[in-house]
Structure 1
Amino acid sequence: MSPATIPPLKETELTTLISPSGLLTCTLLNQGPSIVSLTEISTQRNLVLGYSTADRYSDPDNPFLGATIGRVANRIANAQINDLNGQSYPLAANDANNCLHGGPNGFHMKLWNSHVTIKNGKQVVLYHRISPHLEEGFPGDLSVKVSFGLDEIEDIDGNKRGLLDIEYEAQLVGDVEETAVNLTNHTYFNLGQDLIDGMEITLGSNQYLEIDSSKLPTGRILAHPDVPLDSIGTPTAISLSSSTIFDHCFILDSPFSIDTRLNPLQTFASVYSPATNLHLEAQTTEPSFQFYTGHGLNIPAKNGDVAFKPRAGLCLETGRYLNAVNFVQWKAMSVLKRSAIYGSRTKYIIWAGSK
């Protein structure tokens, strides 16, 4: 398939999904594509940060609100891939000398084709685009699909919980032999509070990639000193406050694979708000996740739209290791060969109820 065979892009459009019995609604924008809102119906609270007008998502100061990130999420050191197809590739730099979240005109700035379809008996929105060769410097024509679906599950007491299911798939469609891929979603979650302070989070791992002053990995995996453990070494709850600052890639016990969808889903974060009695449980097939406390947010109001203060939301971005493509020992998890398919899956489960 070549870019010429893809239907023309539509204009910016919104699509709203409703879970089977109406526990959750989710509004999506085909730029990114981006999660604009995710509402828990019993409390009528929107649990994600989003703009109220579509044009704000094209602003250069948009902090990737709710966006699908690609081709490669997180940072690539010195905005360069050192060895692909027997050569190096300079990338677009947008984080000092580094390439962050696919570059300034990455997937979060692009309009995607979309259609609503039925998958496993549930309604989903499927987004698709071709990322052309050397877009933001990345090699190869890449066909990318991402689907969003709402569902419901029952807990042990028979009560229903809402579920947002995100699935990614990508494949090279031209003649280039390999490229780098690491897709994620950059939603800022907030369980109905002004700021995230006072919320509680339990992480699925205390192992993280040590980083230097440029937030790039040194290659060492260490125990994070600010993740508390119980007597048998299991992470326990962190009560978030203004002094709680995370922007780290945590490591999960998953095998390295370019398509992780056959891996079992692991719970990597559980979040609770004592103020609103809302819960968020995050699961993924991926080998790592970035936990960011949103302390760098500082987006002023513009044209009557909302402002976002530091710590207005937290991010739980699943994916491959930070800068994996430039580390020999991690490279295989991020390099997509022409004969292979990239894939991953992440779920966010939401419900209201006391702790």
Structure 2
Amino acid sequence: MARAPVFLALLCLVATLLASGADARKMVGVYMLKKGDFSVKMTNWGATIMSIVLPDSKGNLADVVLGKDTLAEYVNDTSYFGPLTGRVAQRMARGRFVLDGKVYHTYINDGRNSIHGGHRGFSKVIWTVKEYVAGGSSPYITLYYRSFDGEQGFPGDLDVYATYQLSSPYALSIRTNATALNKATPVNFLQHVYLNLGGQGRGDVLGHTLQLFASRYTPMDEELLPSSGRVDPVAGTNYDFRTPTPIGARIRQVSGGKPGVHGYDINYVIDGAGMRKVAAVRDGASGRGLELSANQPAMQFYTANGLNDTKGKGGKVYRQYSGFCLETQAYPDAVNHPEFPSITVRPGQVYKHDMVYKFSF
């Protein structure tokens, strides 16, 4: 992707908003949520998490989120460092689906398929800041986006809200909801934050221990699509993390989607239903841990296989396995698999996706 045209487009957009006297809440900005020595920095460009800072077991602070230094770099980013993705996150085969007998074609931006809502999905738009409380006992920010009928090929207008809130002890909750206003539409969001509990830019995450509360997964083809529609048990496979296991223990035995690339980029079916524990991760060196809970049926586990000497924050360079993503979601490509749980939201219905990242040290 060319950098200059995208950045110039953002500058033109900002200039237009300024000239029209637009509300400052619709400008691209950076917002800090802070509670003691725990802080999260965000931007309303793509509802993106830019940093999460917290202590280690010795009280040393570090930022555990991979990302960029400037807003311009986030605008040009193609690695999805920290945004909320949609209208339909993850891959969609051939960028097409059929809903109520009508064929829809969405923007193709991943080989022959679409990914994360198209080239201008929710990660590449300006969200409106509806409420913002920087400090206090529960600092939070609520962002809003109106997705219009036909945007990236999706039907119907959609009202979207996302609230990021800090609570004690060291917990970040993300609550999202979306209301279909006038047409049935598929909806699936995910939060694409890359984490390294040792600190961003401080080596790989292969020594982190991971436990997933998932006894099944959806096998992927060479395009990272669940084309078979199967849901298989993880028992006896290299995808079994039901007991705490180093991320790197079997990483060379799994395909990262491209020839010669190894790593995890796989969807798990989470055991149980409703708001429940999805994953637990710990970095022995720093003592930091993470427990993730969510109310979605599935989760994509990604080990940053696509990072290759990627420029990061503070002069750091990110290589393969520099971070991991735990992306709670619906089943990938559910629009083309009637055997998977439906992601269709009909007019007046509300999609809800909640996550809680609880850190410890």
Normalising by structure 2, report the TM-score.
0.83
CA spacing shift, 1:134–1:305, aligned 2, 3 Å? farther
Equivalent in the alignment of 1:241 = 248
Q: Does structure 1 retain, via aligned residues, the 8 Å contact 2:147–2:160?
A: yes
Give the one of 182, 185, 195 matched to 1:179.
Answer: 185
Aligned partner letter, 1:67:
P
SS in 1 for 2:139: strand
Equivalent in the alignment of 2:279 = 269
Q: Does structure 1 retain, via aligned residues, the 8 Å contact 2:83–2:192?
A: yes
Equivalent in the alignment of 1:43 = 60
Equivalent in the alignment of 1:33 = 47
Equivalent in the alignment of 1:122 = 138
1:240 Cα offset (Å): 2.2
Equivalent in the alignment of 1:189 = 195
Equivalent in the alignment of 2:6 = none
CA spacing shift, 1:304–1:18, aligned 2, 3 Å? closer
Give the one of 164, 169, 176 matched to 1:168.
Answer: 176
Structural RMSD (CA): 2.1
Query: CA offsets per residue over residues 1-21 of structure 1, 9 Å max, x none?
Result: xxxxx96862210111113xx
CA spacing shift, 1:112–1:299, aligned 2, 3 Å? farther
Q: Does structure 2 retain, via aligned residues, the 8 Å contact 1:325–1:331?
A: no
Query: CA offsets per residue over residues 209-259 of structure 1, 9 Å max, x none?
Result: 111121111111112301447xxxxx111212285121111002345xxxx
1:197 Cα offset (Å): 1.8
Matches within 5 A, 1:329-340: 329-332=339-342, 334-340=343-349
CA spacing shift, 1:302–1:210, aligned 2, 3 Å? closer
Query: CA offsets per residue over residues 8-66 of structure 1, 9 Å max, x none?
Result: 862210111113xx14100001111100000004321111111111111111x431101
How many angstroms apart in 1 are the aligned matches of 2:96 and 2:31? 36
Question: Which has the larger helix fraction?
Answer: 2
SS in 2 for 1:190: coil
CA spacing shift, 1:49–1:325, aligned 2, 3 Å? same
How many angstroms apart in 2 are the aligned matches of 1:45 and 1:7? 34
CA spacing shift, 1:124–1:207, aligned 2, 3 Å? same
How many angstroms apart in 1 are the aligned matches of 2:222 and 2:193? 25
CA spacing shift, 1:304–1:271, aligned 2, 3 Å? closer
Matches within 5 A, 1:1-355: 10-19=26-35, 22-41=36-55, 42-59=59-76, 61-81=77-97, 83-117=98-132, 122-152=138-168, 161-173=169-181, 175-176=182-183, 178-192=184-198, 193-217=202-226, 218-224=228-234, 225-228=237-240, 235-241=242-248, 244=251, 245-255=263-273, 263=274, 265-298=275-308, 300-301=310-311, 306-332=316-342, 334-352=343-361
How many angstroms apart in 1 are the aligned matches of 2:132 and 2:65? 24
SS in 2 for 1:249: strand
Equivalent in the alignment of 2:5 = none
CA spacing shift, 1:202–1:303, aligned 2, 3 Å? closer
Query: CA offsets per residue over residues 281-315 of structure 1, 9 Å max, x none?
Result: 11111111000111111253389854321111100
CA spacing shift, 1:304–1:239, aligned 2, 3 Å? closer
Where structure 2 has 5 or more consecutive residues not aligned to the other structure, the ranges are 1-21, 252-262
Q: Does structure 2 retain, via aligned residues, the 8 Å contact 1:291–1:315?
A: yes
1:344 Cα offset (Å): 1.4
SS in 1 for 2:80: coil
How many angstroms apart in 2 are the aligned matches of 1:136 and 1:180? 12
Equivalent in the alignment of 2:258 = none
Aligned partner letter, 1:148:
Y
Query: CA offsets per residue over residues 59-86 of structure 1, 9 Å max, x none?
Result: 1x431101000001110011111x2243
1:165 Cα offset (Å): 0.1
- Of 300-309 and 22-31, more deviation after overlay is shown by 300-309
SS in 2 for 1:104: coil
